[in-house]
Amino acid sequence: MIVTVTLNPSLDRAVEVDSLGRGEVIRAAAAHLDPGGKGVNVSRALLANGVPSVAVLPSGGDEGNQLIRLLKAEGVEVLAVPISGRTRSNITLAEPDGTVTKINEPGPAMCRAEFDEVIDRVLVQAGGADWVVLCGSVPPGLPADAYAQLCRKLRAAGVRVAVDTSGPALREAALAGATLLKPNRDELAEVVGTPLKDLDDVVDAAQRLREWGAGTVVASLGADGAVLVDAEGVRTGTCPVARPRSTVGAGDALLAGFLAAGAQGAAALAEGLAWGAAAVSLPGSRMPGPADLRRHDVTIHP
């Protein structure tokens, strides 16, 4: 069983448009409303492929109630912590060529008491978990090391922890000894403070995170695939998508697939790439199921 923690979940409305013109009246070709947030998406992807998962998240206002209803409709087991703020709503505008424009709200502030309640819920669930996955942005009101605080408690209890976040929170998670980090190219460049011009730069940046204390690093590179850097060395892989529809949640699906396949070696990287590519071929933030996976399209390079 895999427990996910999303401190800043959302309702994600994805709108497909023929073209995006500033100041114009645009008619939507299609629209989708999905539960959102990185950890939420990891749980959704795992469950869509038969892997047990529990999603722990704060919830507030009518939007929070709607988020919980949408998750339960997909069969996701939710442990919601009530908060005084309102769960955020995000908008994604997707064009036919795969261009995606996102408008993300900052989310509600969380107080220390609300965060402590989340920690308590997670620690109870972690006892029977294979992994705890800490994902997404840190909401207003909490320090940058919020995920790192939880990571240290879990690591002290012998629990494997995966973290997918950005900025100072990503650096703090590495210093806290996260078992696995899953940044994308931009997040990786930001945290090391260096532009990543080629694959060697990506590998060097991933090794920097490992020097800080992280175990394994999986860096997602969009259409260029992903890079796995761990104690065994470096592996890269790609999985092309013939008709991309939305990149929202693709990195979350990649992480879910990597964890579901054992989180180690080329086979896990290949599974993650297949899940991530499948998510790109679906509208909005839909998560792929077994029928969507095209494992034969994956190529792994040593």
Provide the edge-to-edge strand list for the sheet that holds 10-17.
28-36, 10-17, 88-94, 100-103
Beta 100-103 vs 88-94: how paired, if at all? Answer: antiparallel
Look up residue 199 and give its two tokens: 């694959």
Helix or strand or coil: residue 18?
A: coil
Going by DSSP bridges, is the β-strand pair 53-59/2-6 parallel, antiparallel, or unpaired?
parallel
Among 34, 230, 252, 292, the active-site one is 252
Asked whether the CA dihedral 103, 109, 110, 112 is positive or negative, the reply is: positive
294: Cα separation from own chain's centroid: 21
User: Can you say whether residue 177 is alpha, beta or left, with left for phi > 0 and alpha for psi between -120 and 50 degrees?
Assistant: left
Asked if 145 is an active-site residue, the reply is no
Q: Nearest Cα to 254, choosing from 158, 162, 132?
A: 162
* Catalytic residue set: 252
